[in-house]
Structure 1
Amino acid sequence: MKNLIFILLLIPLSISCQTEKNATSKYPAHVGNIEFDAKLDGKFKKCSQETSYQYYNDNGFQIDGEKIKIINELQKLNFTEDKKSNGYITIRFVVNCEGKSGIFRMQQMDSEYKAYDFNEELSNQLLNFTKNLKGWMPIKINGEKADHYQYLTYKIEHGKVSEILP
């Protein structure tokens, strides 16, 4: 009788383990990998089709002139939005082993982190500004240059870019 009860208790546990194993297999190797789309990404070439290192892999911010370069260039342009607009525009992209950027994706949210659409002019200006930044540096992994992700988040307060993250 004890063995029967023990077996009956093990069945749900083993089913639970099987379910979890199957559930995790449907996710990509890294959270948020960007899939190439020829319509959006043109002729941009990654050096490795299999691996692009994530920005959280100790790569840091990899641009010649550091973040201050981006801040100074952005201040010259003075992009504005409706003064009531507050939130974030994040642009994520890949820097290949040659230091070229591509595969840009944008996400917009309000100050409460809910999906939000800023004025199309502002979002397009920030996207084009980001696409035109030069001086991205490739990273080295095991002595080899490698593709990696970068992102810029523009914090919008009262219709103006108030900060660039990270």
Structure 2
Amino acid sequence: MIKTVYLFTLLSFVLISCQAEKNVSKYPNTVGDAAFDEKLDEAGFKKCGAGKNAPFSFQYYHGTRQFGYKGEKIAIIEQLKKENIYSEKMINGYITVRFLVNCEGKTGWFRLKHMNSDLKDVLLDEELENKLLKFTKSLNGWMPKEIEGLKVDYYQYLTYKIENGKVSEVLP
């Protein structure tokens, strides 16, 4: 009888621990991690480590540089002015493009978020969003980031503040 209770208890723990492992694997390693999406992402973009499913990517604020772009943010603003990107619509809000910079300074896994001035998730102007996404993808001055001597992937974002259909500010 004691052997039966012991065996039942042991099997219960094994089944519970197996179930817990399945639940944990559904979640990203870090809040905000993007998963590869074959509809959105280029198959050729490689993360450091174990390919497209590399275990960890840092956020933009980790490491020694706050903004790792050649020429800093001013270079991006100057390039944006040259492109003269605007909307015919008199819209106000924010368009954020978040992406991954790999250990070679190449970018991929772009994600868009749009909000009105009240920070509500609203499509502002699809054409403007596409232009800003294309512009962000064209930026090629992102610098690889090193943490403790190891080149790492990191997430970066650019938020374009839109006032009266024009980009009035680039954040961060």
Shorter-normalised TM-score: what interval? 0.7 to 0.9
The structural deviation recorded for 1:82 is: 4.0
- Alpha-carbon deviations, 1:78-97, whole Å to 9, x = none? 11224531000000000000
Alignment match, 2:28: 28
- 2: CA distance, partners of 1:29 / 1:45: 18
Calculate the TM-score normalised by the size of structure 2: 0.78
Equivalent position of 1:119 in the other structure: 125
CA contact (8 A) 1:83 1:160 kept: no
1:57-103 CA deviation, whole Å, 9 max, x = no partner?
24411111110100000001111224531000000000000000000
Residue 69 of structure 1 is matched in structure 2 by 75
Gaps of 5+ in 2: 1-23
Aligned Cα RMSD in Å? Answer: 1.8
Q: Trace 1:19-58 onto structure 2 (pairs within 5 A).
A: 27-42=27-42, 43-48=44-49, 49-58=54-63
Distance 1:83 1:122 in 2: 9
- Deviations for 1:116-138, whole angstroms, at most 9, x for unmatched residues? 11221110000000001011101
Distance 1:66 1:141 in 2: 20
Does residue 133 of structure 1 match 2:139?
yes
SS of the counterpart of 1:41? coil
Q: What TM-score, normalized to structure 1?
A: 0.81
1:88 aligns with 2:94: yes
Name structure 1 gaps, 5 residues minimum.
1-24
1:39 shift after superposition: 2.4
Contact 2:29 2:55 in 1 (8 A): no
**Cα distance, 1:144 vs structure 2:** 1.0
